[in-house]
């Protein structure tokens, strides 16, 4: 057989996608799975957004769009950054892509050379590491321990930066922990980054509207305007507006970086789907009040899940202030054996046995760079969450 590219060495299908596939295969065999592995809202896309897409399709908005996004969507993004983040980006400082994921891909591929380092506060969303590796870069992990609420300490960050550092990637509210970055932490991080002008900073703010307990979201370029010419502020409509399938992400950043990323995108996908762009305009320019209602609903689910998990001897679960994930610690379960005779040495063993013996799909902490933990997504209805936690309790309590 003809061979494959070296750049794919060590790049695996993401663990959450693998778990979702495994759960789907079991479902197809008739097994009733409780799925807590998927990182997408269970709410439908709002009606007015769907309507805007239908109008666009019927109205003939079906030709190749500009590669960097339709002017009307770029204007809507410009307004969004001003409204929500107090950030002023010119239209040539904005790029539209197929999801925040393609924004991140464009950024890494347009800037990384072999030997470059990408600093990742850990645990991190799986794709940052794989995309950086595809770009030839090396990952440098900075642990954000549970004891510090999975937050990034400025001194740990400082110790990780070398002359080879190309990027720092910030993602708060965080996938997989839900951790948020309070204003003081951001100021401390900004102070460190002011000392290292050779480093780009990507802030992935995709969970910005999913915040709880009156937490006030802030983004780095807003906190420290002197960093704005090195910061790529990444966002998208997937999580806030329940539009994961529409594939619209966007960013604001320095003009030259945006131009290089646009060049990269031009050789991959060109401009994104026109119908989805019309939908995204409706999402960003339409009513915003339901975002708070949804956040209240997620907060109630978070409280339910954290309460149920902490009632299970052997698990320890923090109370995150954002996103829709919890990241319980399972150290007390290691070295034990399941009812079905499986030995639990790692968090991967734990989630596999949980799937096979209790049919609950979750994702192992190893996939996010920090063990022994597992990730639960609570972006699902409360009956499913109760049943999932009941099965997890049964599983953990039966370990011997
Ligand atoms: C932190 C983070 N960034 C980006 C994405 C991807 O967003 P999009 O659907 O816009 O590609 C995800 C999806 O899980 C995510 O968790």
Query: What are the tens digits of pLDDT across the range 270-297?
Result: 999 999 999 999 999 999 999 999 999 9
128: pLDDT confidence band, cut at 50, 70 and 90?
very high
Closest CA to 322 of 152, 125, 181: 181
Q: 34-48, 60-74, 232-246: lowest mean pLDDT where?
A: 34-48
What is the 155 CA–ligand 1 centroid distance (Å)? Answer: 27
CA–CA gap between residue 161 and residue 342 (Å, rounded):
41
Ligand 1 site-directed mutation target among 96, 127, 132, 369, most atoms within 8 Å of CB? 127
Cα-based distances in Å from 101 to 26, 156, 179, 195, 204: 28, 27, 20, 29, 10
Judged against a pLDDT cut of 90, whether residue 269 lies above it is answered with: yes
CA 249 to ligand 1: nearest atom: 10
Tell me the helices (H) and strands (E) count for the chain, helix number first. 13, 14
Q: State residue 22's pLDDT score.
A: 82
CA–CA gap between residue 86 and residue 220 (Å, rounded):
11
Judged against a pLDDT cut of 90, whether residue 353 lies above it is answered with: yes
Mean pLDDT of 49-65: 97
Judged against a pLDDT cut of 80, whether residue 105 lies above it is answered with: yes
**% of the chain at pLDDT higher than 90:** 92
Q: Are 117 and 196 in contact (CB under 8 A)?
A: no
State the DSSP H helix or E strand holding residue 168, giving kind and residue range, or none if neither: strand 165-170
Mean pLDDT of 212-223: 97
What is the 174 CA–ligand 1 centroid distance (Å)? Answer: 10
Q: Which fold has domain 47-285?
A: 3.40.640
Q: Peptide bond preceding 173: is omega within 30 degrees of 0, i.e. cis?
A: yes
Ligand 1 site-directed mutation target among 38, 101, 205, most atoms within 8 Å of CB? 101
The two beta strands, 374-377 and 363-364, are antiparallel
Q: Which DSSP symbol is given to 373?
A: B
CA 237 to ligand 1: nearest atom: 10
Would you state the structure tokens that stand for residue 87, as one six-digit string? 């950030």
What is the 26 CA–ligand 1 centroid distance (Å)? Answer: 26
Measuring from atom 7 of ligand 1, which residue has the nearest CA? Answer: 100
Q: State residue 20's pLDDT score.
A: 80
Which is higher by pLDDT, 211 or 23? 211
Residue 345: Cβ within 10 Å count? 12
CATH 3.40.50.360 assigned to domain 6-44+290-397? The reply is: no
Would you state the structure tokens that stand for residue 312, as one six-digit string? 């299970």
First vs last C-alpha separation in the chain: 47
Ligand 1 site-directed mutation target among 130, 177, 239, 279, most atoms within 8 Å of CB? 239
The two beta strands, 374-377 and 325-326, are antiparallel
350: pLDDT confidence band, cut at 50, 70 and 90?
very high
12: pLDDT confidence band, cut at 50, 70 and 90?
confident
Would you state the structure tokens that stand for residue 317, as one six-digit string? 């679960």
What is the 240 CA–ligand 1 centroid distance (Å)? Answer: 11
CA 39 to ligand 1: nearest atom: 14
Cα-based distances in Å from 230 to 179, 218, 220, 252: 24, 17, 11, 11
Which is higher by pLDDT, 29 or 165? 165
Closest CA to 218 of 260, 249, 244, 185: 185
Mean pLDDT of 205-212: 98
Q: Do 6-44+290-397 and 47-285 have matching folds? A: no
Q: What is the DSSP string of 235-301?
A: EESTTTTT-TTT--EEEE--HHHHHHHHHHHHTTT-S--HHHHHHHHHHHHS--HHHHHHHHHHHHH
Q: pLDDT digit string (tens) for 153-181? A: 999 999 999 999 999 999 999 999 999 99
Which burial class, exposed, middle or buried, applies to 43 when counting CB atoms under 10 A from its CB (0-12, 13-18, 19+)? middle
Q: Where are the domains of the chain?
A: 6-44+290-397, 47-285
CA–CA gap between residue 77 and residue 75 (Å, rounded):
5
145: pLDDT confidence band, cut at 50, 70 and 90?
very high
Q: State residue 9's pLDDT score.
A: 85
Question: What is the pTM for the complete model shown?
Answer: 0.96
In b/e form, how buried is each residue of 189-214, taking b as 16+ CB within 10 angstroms?
bbebbeebeebbbbbbbbbbbbbbee
Ligand 1 pocket by C-beta < 6 Å: which residues? 39, 99-101, 125, 171, 175, 204, 206, 236, 238, 244, 249
Measuring from atom 16 of ligand 1, which residue has the nearest CA? Answer: 175
Judged against a pLDDT cut of 90, whether residue 298 lies above it is answered with: yes
The answer to whether the Cα torsion of 19, 367, 376, 345 is positive or negative is positive
Residue 25: Cβ within 10 Å count? 11
Q: Which DSSP symbol is given to 322?
A: B
Judged against a pLDDT cut of 90, whether residue 17 lies above it is answered with: no
Radius of gyration of the chain (CA): 21
**Which three-class secondary structure state does DSSP give residue 52?**
helix
Q: State residue 24's pLDDT score.
A: 84
Mean pLDDT of 13-20: 77
Q: State residue 15's pLDDT score.
A: 75
The two beta strands, 249-252 and 231-236, are antiparallel
What is the 101 CA–ligand 1 centroid distance (Å)? Answer: 6
Judged against a pLDDT cut of 80, whether residue 62 lies above it is answered with: yes
Judged against a pLDDT cut of 90, whether residue 21 lies above it is answered with: no
111: pLDDT confidence band, cut at 50, 70 and 90?
very high
């Amino acid at each position: 057989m003809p061979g494959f590219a070296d750049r794919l060495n060590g790049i695996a299908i993401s663990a959450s996608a693998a778990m979702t596939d495994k759960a789907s295969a079991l479902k197809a065999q008739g097994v009733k799975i409780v799925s807590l592995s998927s990182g997408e809202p269970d709410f439908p896309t709002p009606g007015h957004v769907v309507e805007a897409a239908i109008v666009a399709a019927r109205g003939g908005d079906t030709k190749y769009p500009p590669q960097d996004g339709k002017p009307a969507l770029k204007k809507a993004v410009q307004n969004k950054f001003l409204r929500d983040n107090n950030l002023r980006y010119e239209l040539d400082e904005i790029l539209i892509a197929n999801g925040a994921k393609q924004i991140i891909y464009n950024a890494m591929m347009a800037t990384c050379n072999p030997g470059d380092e990408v600093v990742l506060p850990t645990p991190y969303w799986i794709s940052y590491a794989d995309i950086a590796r595809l770009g030839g870069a090396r990952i440098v992990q900075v642990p954000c321990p549970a004891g510090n609420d999975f937050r990034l300490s400025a001194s740990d960050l400082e110790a990780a930066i070398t002359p080879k550092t190309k990027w720092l990637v910030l993602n708060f509210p965080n996938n997989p922990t839900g951790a948020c970055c309070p204003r003081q932490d951001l100021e401390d991080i900004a102070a460190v980054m002011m000392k290292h002008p050779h480093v780009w900073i990507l802030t992935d703010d995709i969970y910005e509207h999913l915040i709880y307990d009156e937490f006030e979201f802030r983004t780095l370029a807003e906190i420290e305007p002197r960093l704005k010419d090195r910061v790529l502020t990444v966002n998208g409509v997937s999580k806030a507006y329940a539009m994961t399938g529409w594939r619209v992400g966007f960013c604001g950043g320095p003009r030259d970086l945006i131009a290089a990323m646009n060049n990269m995108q031009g050789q991959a996908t060109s401009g994104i789907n026109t119908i989805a762009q019309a939908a995204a305009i409706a999402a960003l320019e339409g009513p915003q009040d339901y975002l708070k209602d949804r956040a209240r609903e997620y907060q109630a689910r978070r409280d339910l899940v954290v309460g149920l998990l902490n009632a299970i001897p052997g698990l320890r679960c923090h109370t995150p202030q954002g996103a829709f994930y919890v990241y319980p610690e399972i150290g007390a379960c290691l070295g034990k054996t399941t009812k079905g005779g499986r030995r639990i040495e790692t968090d991967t063993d734990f989630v596999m046995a949980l799937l096979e013996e209790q049919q609950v799909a979750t994702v192992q902490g190893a996939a996010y760079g920090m063990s022994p933990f597992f990730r639960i997504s609570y972006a699902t209805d409360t009956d499913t969450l109760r049943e999932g936690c009941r099965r997890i309790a049964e599983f953990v309590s039966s370990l011997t």
